[in-house]
Structure 1
């Protein structure tokens, strides 16, 4: 085992101790009923343009991309999905919330 892979322990007197390595653990996606998604309108640092922001997604990046693609397709606009956030161009809060609830996600609208 390489020394740089050890996580936080230099030495242990416990005979049953084993080092925890920093291996890539695959994050699992929570089922839609357990997701706590928040839908809000955002204009900060976007040149005055409005976007619908969906935050709070817990899971793999592939599942986030799939959900983002579904929302963008239903709204008929562009956007992006990264860092547990989905950005849909334009003010589509009501439509995005409706689609998320229809898909079985627990979502609520934040802000006005």
Structure 2
């Protein structure tokens, strides 16, 4: 199902945009997934962490800790943590130490 860009309907007036990036990044099954992405990054890979049900401040703190332990850069974007490393196994181990259920997803 594709995301709808509908903002107004003659039926009910203005449509609220509740399908934000933050709500899409949180999985309903409680599993944190680590994806590898290179698209739009000039071939350089990053690990994107999906499914963390945390507020923005807690995400930023966790991101900072992961960056320090991996020795790389990263950022919190749209409710997701992007870490500039392709070492997903290390990220998985670090998140499992914090009692998250983690799966590696994608390539």
Larger radius of gyration: 1
Q: Give the distance between the partners of 2:31 and 2:42, measured in 1 at CA.
A: 29
Q: Give the distance between the partners of 1:57 and 1:98, measured in 2 at CA.
A: 15
Q: Alignment partner of 2:53: what SS?
A: coil
RMSD: 1.4
Q: 1:46-79: per-residue Cα shift (whole Å, max 9, x none)?
A: 1111101111122210000011111111101001
Q: Alignment partner of 1:64: what SS?
A: helix
Per the alignment, residue 76 of structure 1 pairs with: 71
Residues 1:85 and 2:72 aligned together: no
Report the alpha carbon displacement of residue 35 of structure 1 after superposing the two structures with TM: 4.1
Q: Alignment partner of 1:108: what SS?
A: strand
Per the alignment, residue 43 of structure 1 pairs with: 38
Per the alignment, residue 47 of structure 2 pairs with: 52
8 Å contact from structure 1 (residues 40, 52) kept in 2: yes
Listed as ranges, the gaps of 5+ residues in structure 1 are 1-33
TM-score normalized by structure 2? 0.68
Aligned residue pairs: how many? 79
Q: Which structure shows the bigger proportion of residues in strand conformation?
A: 2
TM-score normalized by structure 1? 0.65
Q: Give the distance between the partners of 1:44 and 1:61, measured in 2 at CA.
A: 25
8 Å contact from structure 1 (residues 72, 79) kept in 2: yes
Match among 83, 103, 106 for residue 98 of structure 2: 103
Moved over 6 A (4+): none
